[in-house]
Amino acid sequence: ESLLVQCAEILRERGHEIRGIASEEAPILAWARERGIATIDPSGDLATELAGDFDYLFSITHLKLLPDSVLRRPRRAAINFHDGPLPSYAGMYTPAWALIAREPRYGISWHVMRSELDEGDLLATRSFDVAPNETSLTINTKCYEAAIESFGPLCDALASGSASPIPQDLRQKHYFGKWLRPAAAGLLDFTRPAPDLEALVRALDFGRYENPLGTAK
């Protein structure tokens, strides 16, 4: 959730006005209220709550699908942060799935939001090497850093009109659904190669944060 606050600070530093923040997280709501920014309950009728004149809607670590009625509200675009390189890693918990697949590189994407999940044009991307000992905790930290590093230049490009949306090659799309889980609930099969098992253990290491996928066993 702190990524939303970091991006909001970047917008404010560049002189842009934030008309409102929709969140259920107490620290985010407190941050907004301290700065006189209107807060919105995302569990309500967002299409009605977002009535008004504004240019962009940013979806940052919001894990629920936004309806078309909400995506049509901004004058210019609704933009989503995705913690994976699109179109190859669309969907949920993609950093962990990339570790399970033993990907050598990974990255993040800022993209225009459409009705179809994670299929809108790309506005900004960042990639980085995956370390040999990478865990879900550490790769998510790298995604966080890449998001912050890329958000400022993205805002500048949007403000100047120089942003160049790039259509995704959806033939390369791989979608990881919310309820997809590792085989056998993460049970280690010792007939498999040791590097595969080690990758699974690291992928299911979320540190002190909530682990939605399960643990290796």
In tens, the pLDDT along 116-137 reads 999 999 999 999 999 999 999 9
Say what the pLDDT of residue 63 is. Answer: 83
pLDDT classification of 52: cutoffs 50, 70, 90: confident
Identify the burial level of 57 via C-beta atoms within 10 angstroms of its C-beta, where 0-12 means exposed, 13-18 middle and 19 or more buried.
buried
> How many percent of the chain have pLDDT more than 70?
100
pLDDT tens-digit profile of 65-98?
899 999 999 999 999 999 999 999 999 999 999 9
Cα distance between residue 39 and residue 37, in whole Å: 6
Whether 1 shows a pLDDT value over 80: the answer reads no
pLDDT, averaged across the chain: 95
Contact 201, 216 (CB under 8 A): yes
Neighbours of 27 (CB within 10 A): 12
pLDDT classification of 62: cutoffs 50, 70, 90: confident
pLDDT tens-digit profile of 144-189?
999 999 999 999 999 999 999 999 999 999 999 999 999 999 999 9
Which residue shows structure tokens 């991006």? 7
Reduced to 3 states (helix: H, G, I; strand: E, B; else coil), residue 156 is helix
Whether 9 shows a pLDDT value over 80: the answer reads yes
What pairing do the DSSP bridges indicate for beta strands 122-129 and 105-112? antiparallel
Tell me, what amino acid is at 119? E
Say what the pLDDT of residue 94 is. Answer: 98
> How many percent of the chain have pLDDT more than 90?
91
List Cα–Cα distances, 204 to 42, 99, 183, in angstroms: 29, 9, 12
